[in-house]
Structure 1
Amino acid sequence: MSAREFNFDGLVGPSHNYAGLSFGNVASFSNVKSASNPKLAALQGLAKMRALAARGFGQALLPPQDRPNFRLLRSIGFTGTDAEVLSKAAREAPVILACAYSASPMWTANAATVSPSADSADGRTHFTAANLNNKLHRAFEHEQSARALRAIFKDEKHFAVHDALPGTPAFGDEGAANHTRLCKEHGSAGVELFVYGRSEFDAGAPAPRKYPARQTLEASQAVARLHGLSAERTVYVQQNPDVIDQGVFHNDVIAVGNANALFYHEQAFADEAGALDQLRRAMGAVGADLNAIRVDTAHVPVADAVASYLFNSQLLSKADGKMALVIPHECQEVGSVARYLENLVAGGGVVDELIHFDLRQSMRNGGGPACLRLRVALTDAEAAAMHQGVLMTEALYHTLVAWVEKHYRDRLEPADLADPQLAIEVHNALEELSRLLGLPGLYD
């Protein structure tokens, strides 16, 4: 059956800020408490969506989450009116206030793990909202992520949206940032690759020493069960703990895949040879050959890969059978990466085009092109059954640009998070957005 891949990009919210909350994310930590530009961030993201849609790629969006998270603040003892809650939190627990204002839902690669209908036992597309329980500022996201996914994919004949896994360390789940689907074509059965950082119940397994391993093997296995995946076509691979300690907090910072191509760094996996062997055998079961594109450390050191977000790019299939690599401008500013990409495109392989975007507002907060999107492969019937109001069109682009220009600030300082007017501005903006997208009642 024919199917098409849609990328659902996160629409950056009106309170986009740099709080530096994500220990292990080097870029996020490096820009802690600097001023942000929410308007520019949203416009940069919209420009990316518009350009890819205009090229004929399937493009949609996931709306931002409401901020601040008053449920979090009230659950830990801050009381009174909304303004009083903000004032008390700013005075007594400014870091927790920053958590309540976290901009991280913009990175929809962490919203959920997705398995298309061609892979699932019941023939439906499955979503499991990620619990993101490794970080306080992200651990509350799954409720709204599931709510949004159910609003967009509400036809239960075609879709199943699962709640997040139990919020315990054993089931640490970071969503599609540690999941890659490989296939011969999007509408046929594929191979689902889960990359985990540690195993909760294997005390002897290698683990990082400096930064946390956020994804567990147990969580990956649970998602595969919920989605009804075939054991023959499901592969579990451990991420190299040494690269986690170098700032590779998710697999999508060190590897990216699409169709039958896996673009990865030499140091991505704890056992590179074993990982490739498993993938080749699983790909053989679906009648496909694995096209492994290996980047050697000698060509691109891990530090350069992290600084440029080379692997946090998007691999997109083109009509001519070749692939385009969607990269941030930073890839052209890191010498080793720029040289590698020039040779890659000139080398006659499957990747023959680079598409550049200015995503500096997102990059400074620790997320590149791949962080901003959730891959969803849909048949024609499934694409017709999902909510159409989130599909990127030229008309929607102009509507959303006008909405951003109306509601977003062009400068946000850390001290502004205590301003009750900001909370009102965000609430009013999102209420209007829900109407523009045709999703009434999207926010609680």
Structure 2
Amino acid sequence: MIAYEANFDGLVGPTHNYSGLSTGNIASLTYSQQVSNPKRAALQGLDKMKALANLGLIQGVIAPQMRPDIQVLRRLGFYGSDRCVLQQAAQQAPKLLTSCCSASSMWAANAATVSPSADTDDRRIHFTPANLVNHFHRSIENQTTSRILAAIFNDENHFCHHQPLPASEQLGDEGAANHMRFCEHHGEQGVEMFVFGRYGFDHHQQAPTRYPARQTYEASAAIVRLHQLDPQQVVMAQQNPLLIDQGVFHNDVIAVANQQVLFCHQYAFLNQADVYLQLQQKMGMDFSIIEVPDNVVSVDDAVSSYLFNSQLVTLPNGDVSLILPQECQRNPRIWQYVQQLLQARVGINRIDLFNLSQSMCNGGGPACLRLRVVLTEQEQRAVNPAVLLTDTLFKRLREWIDLHYRDRLVEADLADPSLLLQSYTALDELTYILKLGSVYDFQQV
């Protein structure tokens, strides 16, 4: 059956700021407390979406979370008017306030794990929103994420929505950032690869010592069962714990896949040769591995440039493009390797560069910003059409951002009641533009 891979990007929210909340994410910690520009961040992300749509790819938009999340702050004991709640939180527990203002849902690769209908037993697309229990600021996303995904993919004949996994460290789930799929054609059954950082219940296994491993084996195994996948078409691989301690907090920081190609670092996985063997046995002779040697691209260079946090996409004309952040061009060693990669003609024959500096400074590159969903033509017709990017929607979203977003934000601004009003007003209008219904708590009061 003919199917296409669509990208659904997270739209950056009005409270985009640099609070350094993400332990293990070096960029997030490095740029902590600096001045952010929410308007520029949102426009950079939107421009990337439009460019990919112009290349002929299906491109959708995922709405941001409701921030500041006043309801969560009230659950934590702050009371009174919204102004009082913000002031109390700022004075008594500023980290709770910054957590409840985080715009991290922009990184839609963590929104959910998605399995195409070609892989699932009931021939529906399965979605499991990530529980994101490793960090508080992200753990409060999944209920709204569930509503937004259900509003986008709202036909139960084609889409199956699961609840997030139980919120426990043994079942830590970070979504598609630790999930890859291989196939010859998108509409045919593929091989799904789940990458985990540690075992939730077996503490004797190898694990990082400096930074947390966010994805557990048990979480990945649960999703395999929930999505009704054929175990013979699944590969479970453990992330190299030494790389997690060097800032590789998700698999998509060190590896990316597209159809029959795996592009990864030499030290991406534990027992890497065995991982390769499993993939080659399941995929056959045409499977291709582009392994980047450590002496050519170091882990530090990979993390700082986000070479692997790229989108690897097949364009309608058959070209395979590597969607990179501009930081790759600014690193001479990375850029030299990229030029050699193109000249080698090993399955990647085009490079597209994007300015995503606002997202990059917070620790997310092109791959972080998108959730991949394989759709047949019939399934695409069942998607909420209002979220699919067109020239008209692009123009309207640009105007919406220009109207509602600030061009400067510091941590002290998060306690400003006017920011809350601006944010909620913007999101209320956005749900009308994208025809999502009442997905936010403040709309249901």
Q: Give the corresponding residue for 1:25.
A: 25
Matches within 5 A, 1:363-402: 363-402=360-399
Does structure 2 conserve the Cα–Cα contact (< 8 Å) formed by 1:118 and 1:187?
A: yes
What does the per-residue CA deviation read over 1:371-411, in whole Å, with 9 as the maximum and x for residues that have no partner? 00000000000000010000011111000000000000000
Equivalent-residue separation in structure 2 for 1:432 and 1:232 (angstroms): 46
Q: Residue 339 of structure 1 is aligned with which of 332, 336, 339? A: 336
Native 8 Å contact 1:280 1:290 kept in 2: yes
1: CA distance, partners of 2:317 / 2:344:
17
1:408-437 deviations in Å (ceiling 9; x for gaps): 000001100010110000000000111111
Aligned positions of 1:106-117 closer than 5 A:
106-117=106-117
Q: Which residue of 1 aligns with 2:125?
A: 125
1:191-229 deviations in Å (ceiling 9; x for gaps): 000000000122221000100000000000001100000
**CA–CA distance in structure 2, aligned partners of residues 26 and 134 of structure 1:** 16
**Contact 2:290/2:346 (8 A) holds in 1:** no
Alignment partner of 1:197 is 2:178: no
Q: Any conservation in 2 of the 1:233–1:283 contact (CA below 8 Å)?
A: no
Q: Alpha-carbon deviation of 1:439? A: 1.8
- Name 1:137's counterpart in structure 2: 137
Give the letter aligned to residue 99 of structure 2. C
TM superposition score normalised by structure 1: 0.98
**Correspondence 1:171-186 to 2 at 5 A:** 171-186=171-186
Q: Quick one: distance in 1 between partners of 2:293 and 2:65?
A: 39
Residue in structure 2 matched with residue 47 of structure 1 by the alignment: 47
In structure 1, distance between residues paired with 2:234 and 2:191: 6
Distance 2:168 2:109 in 1: 21
**Root-mean-square deviation (Å):** 0.8
Gaps of 5+ in 2: none
Query: Where does residue 314 of structure 1 map in the other structure?
Result: 311
Number of aligned residues: 441
- Partner residue of 2:415 out of 413, 418, 424: 418
The question of 1:434 aligning with 2:416 is answered no
Q: Equivalents in 1 of 2:141, 2:436: separation in Å?
A: 18
Q: Distance in 1 between matches of 2:315 and 2:421?
A: 43
Whether 1:358 and 2:355 are equivalent positions in the alignment is yes
Equivalent-residue separation in structure 2 for 1:14 and 1:52 (angstroms): 23
AA partner of residue 69 (structure 2):
N
Using the TM superposition, give the Cα deviation of residue 33 of structure 1 relative to its aligned residue in structure 2, in angstroms.
1.2
Tell me the equivalent position of 1:328. Answer: 325
Letter in 1 for 2:46: L
Query: Tell me, what secondary structure is at the counterpart of 1:403?
Result: helix
The residue that corresponds to 2:266 in the other structure is 266
Q: Which amino acid is the alignment partner of residue 430 of structure 1? A: L
Tell me which amino acid in the other structure corresponds to 1:328. P
In structure 2, give the amino acid aligned to 1:306: V
Residue by residue, what CA displacement relative to the aligned partner does 1:137-160 show, whole Å, maximum 9, x if unpaired?
A: 000111011110101111000000
Does the residue aligned with 2:99 lie in a helix, a strand or coil? Answer: helix
Q: Aligned-pair distance for 1:71? A: 2.1
Q: Deviations over 1:301-359 (max 9, x none)?
A: 00000000000000010234331000000000112110000000111221011000000
Check conservation: 2:241, 2:270, Cα contact below 8 A: yes
Give the alignment partner of residue 409 of structure 1, picking from 401, 406, 409. 406
Q: Which amino acid aligns with 1:4?
A: Y
Q: Which amino acid aligns with 1:13?
A: G
Does residue 154 of structure 1 match 2:122? no
- 2:351 partner amino acid: L
Moved more, 319-328 or 213-222: 319-328
Q: Contact (CA 8 Å) 1:183, 1:259: kept in 2 or not?
A: yes
**Alignment identity in percent?**
53
What's the CA shift string for 1:245-295, capped at 9, x where partnerless?
0000000000000101100000100111011011112223xxx63210000
State how far apart, in whole Å, the 2-side matches of 1:358 and 1:23 are.
Answer: 24
Distance of 2:422 and 2:428 partners within structure 1: 10
Q: Secondary structure at the match of 2:138?
A: coil
1:203 and 1:93 map into 2 onto residues whose CA distance is: 33
Give the Å deviation of 1:297. Answer: 0.3
